[in-house]
Amino acid sequence: MATPAPHDEQARFDAVIAADEKIEPRDWMPEKYRRNLVRQISQHAHSEVVGQLPEGNWITRAPSLRRKAILLAKVQDEAGHGLYLYSAAETLGTSREEMLDDLLEGRAKYASIFNYPTLSWADVGAIGWLVDGAAIVNQISLCRTSYGPYARAMVRICKEESFHQRQGYEIMQTLAQGSPEQQAMAQDALDRWWWPTLMMFGPHDADSAHTQQSMQWKIKRQSNDELRQKFVDQTVEQAARIGLTIPDPELRWNEARGHYDFGEIDWDEFQRVLGGNGPCNRSRMRDRRRAHEDGAWVREAMLAHAEKHNRRAAGAAA
Amino acid sequence: MSDAHFTYVLRLGDNALVLGQRLSEWCGHSPFLEEDIAMANTALDLIGRARMLYSHAGRLEGRGRDEDALAYLRDEREFGNFLMCELPNGDYGFTLVRQYLLDVYHRHLYAALTESRDDELAAIAAKAVKEAAYHARRSGDWVLRLGDGTAESNARCQAALDELWGYTAELFTPDAVDSAMLEAGVAPDLATLRTRWEADVLARLAEAGLTVPADDWQAEGGRAGRHTEHMGRLLAELQFVQRAYPGQQW
């Protein structure tokens, strides 16, 4: 059988996208589609891995054993999400080692939000409530993404993220109902995490380098600004319910739009942190590199043992 | 119930909490992602075990102390964990060799405790023994891989074993609490436990090319609240929020 000509492949790919069906690993896909997906999925995986660090910063100081257990379970889930996502990206022909090298050598990005420090216990609540809340808005949309393995990973991840978001909100609720010091801790965490969370959705649609192409390929199903609006609308009401104030004087309900209006993000800060000049960029990458370098002898030993084991088994069989 | 009964259960809780606290420090810093997950998972099992044991100890004591009062509001001299649990993690080899020595201990201890005359403790043990068996399989596999792996991994694990071996004596040295609980049918005989532990551990160490150190240095005192200098810092970190903002709900 003759290999189909590339234009037939392209036509088939376009038809699958148009019909809202899934592209699967063995299907032909444009090289740019593949590269775009590897970039997005691996960036997402790296975010899960680096995201262990700010929350891990509080596991040893969690204020009750119940909270410690929940936080450990949550951070363990995040690492598990990293695994599914690396696996999804590997189906596109890029190995986990290559992706990890890209991260450690600074070629790949991870979510900028993790370049902010966790300064109090309330930050653990704020990360669950706001950061995971924002991630869910984005990820629910990605459950309909055009690449099959990514969409399926998202379905599974969304279920766990909604548990994370609830535990974060519950921490904030408990603090907001607590002593004046606890209330201040909760408000301070909201003040510091609000704007960086809104930045998680990326630049305005008009300024987004990847949005238009990604929307055409149905990798992205909703734009940055649409998703950000959805997050603001749901979170304003959650904050009000527990008596916390969102740090935005321009926030108000717009009857005509049926949405909340909100102030402008500090895009200079966005660019600065994205460009490596956030408060924790260096320490996060140093921690990841150190874990990788300190673990090199462990990985080498594991391989050496496996080889010896196989040789011995082969020797015994011979 | 006696003070000894309370102390016995409390000390089991202390071992679980302090070791779980140490393991949780690896979160995000392990040699690869699967190990981050495994470390968090093991730490989670240990914290869960500590919670059950502390709740039970609190009820035995009958003074209204719950799991958090026992974990967060006692001072160093009141903790009765083995010294080995509180030692800093060192490298991955040190963490895993320690884990292996303690996992095998816990597997045999909790298997025996399923027969305890303390029904609640026996029920806790029935859950703990399953986890401990799994933990020991995992850490035992690692001891084999690292002992057998490369010259470097063997040397690191041997150094860890040389450091840790002197801390194993107190795992098997009964004090008045252990003797009273043995007599009451609550706790098992530590001499029998030692025989079982040695049978497993010595075989695995030999298979992994590791040698039990010849010197007779021993450190003990953990169960009497005489700890290493590391313990105070571990508790300072663990207890900080509760101590800084007393009497709050979290």
Q: Average pLDDT of each block of 10 consecutive residues along chain A (318 residues)?
A: 71 95 96 95 96 96 98 96 96 96 94 97 98 95 94 92 94 98 98 98 90 89 95 97 98 98 98 95 96 97 96 85
CA distances from B235 to A6, A318, B50, B78, B170 (A): 65, 56, 15, 11, 21
Q: Is the ipTM of this complex over 0.90?
A: yes
Q: Quick one: pLDDT band at residue B57, thresholds 50, 70, 90?
A: very high
Asked if residue B144 has pLDDT above 70, the reply is yes
Q: Which residues contact A125 (CB under 8 A, 6 or more apart)?
A: A168, A169, A170, A171, A172, A175, A186, A189
Residue B128 backbone phi and psi in degrees, to 5: -65, -35
Rounded distance, CA A285 to CA A308, Å? 34
CA distance B55 to B50: 8
In this structure, how many other beta carbons lie within 10 angstroms of the beta carbon of residue A295?
A: 18
Q: Is B156 on the interface with A (CB under 8 A)?
A: yes
Taking only residues 134 to 153 of chain B, the set having a beta carbon closer than 8 angstroms to any beta carbon of chain A reads 144-146, 148-150, 152-153
Whether the pLDDT of residue B55 is over 80: the answer is yes
Contact between B31 and A295 using a beta-carbon 8 Å cutoff: yes
Identify the residue among A48, A53, A297, A311 best suited for mutation to test binding to B, counting B beta carbons within 10 A and taking the highest: A297
| Through-space distance between the first and last CA atoms of chain B, rounded to whole angstroms | 31
pLDDT over threshold 80, residue B2: no
The pLDDT, as a whole number, for residue A5 is 63
Inspect the interface and report whether the beta carbons of B44 and A56 lie closer than 8 Å.
no
List chain A residues with CB under 8 Å of B47. 65, 68-69, 72
pLDDT at A57: 97
Angle, vertex CA A189, rays to CA A186 and CA A191, nearest 5: 110
Interchain CB distance below 8 Å, A65 and B51: yes
Residue with tokens 């026996």: B122
**Do the bridges between strand A259-261 and strand A252-254 make them parallel or antiparallel, or are there none, so unpaired?**
antiparallel
CB contact under 8 Å between B37 and A301, yes or no, is no
- Out of A72, A303, A304, the one facing B47 most closely (by C-beta) is A72
> How far apart are the C-alpha atoms of B91 and A302, rounded to whole Å?
15
A304–chain B Cβ distance below 8 A for any pair: yes
Residues in A touching B250 (Cβ below 8 Å): 63-64, 67, 121, 171, 174-175
Q: Is B80 near chain A, with CB under 8 Å?
A: no
How many angstroms separate the CA of residue B26 from the nearest CA in chain A? 9
pLDDT score, position B194: 98
Check if A97 contacts B (Cβ < 8 Å). no
CB B193 within 8 A of CB B172: yes
Size of interface A-B (CB pairs under 8 A): 145
Q: Chain A within 8 Å of B207 (Cβ-Cβ)?
A: no
Best CA proximity match to A38, nearest among A82, A79, A90, A81: A90
Report yes or no: A88 and B63 within 8 Å, Cβ to Cβ.
Answer: no
Euclidean distance between CA atoms A127 and A194, whole angstroms: 10
Supply A180's token pair.
């004046």
Least confident of A155-159, A269-273, B41-45, B81-85: A155-159
Q: Which amino acid is at A29?
A: M
Record: contact B152-A300, CB cut-off 8 A: yes
Say whether pTM exceeds 0.90: yes
Helix (H, G, I), strand (E, B) or coil at A116: coil
B245, A182: Cβ pair inside 8 Å?
Answer: yes
The reply to whether residue A182 touches residue B248, judged by beta carbons under 8 angstroms, is: yes
Right CATH for B3-211+227-244 from 3.40.50.2000, 1.20.1260.10, 2.60.120.10, 3.40.50.150: 1.20.1260.10
**Chain A residues in contact with B144 (beta carbon < 8 A):** 305
Q: A254 CA to chain B: closest CA distance, Å?
A: 36
Would an 8 Å CB–CB cutoff place A240 in contact with chain B? Answer: no
Instruction: Provide the pLDDT for residue A4.
Output: 60
**Where residue B245 falls among pLDDT bands split at 50, 70, 90?**
very high
Nearest to B194 by CA among B210, B211, B207, B178: B178
| Residue type for position A256 | A
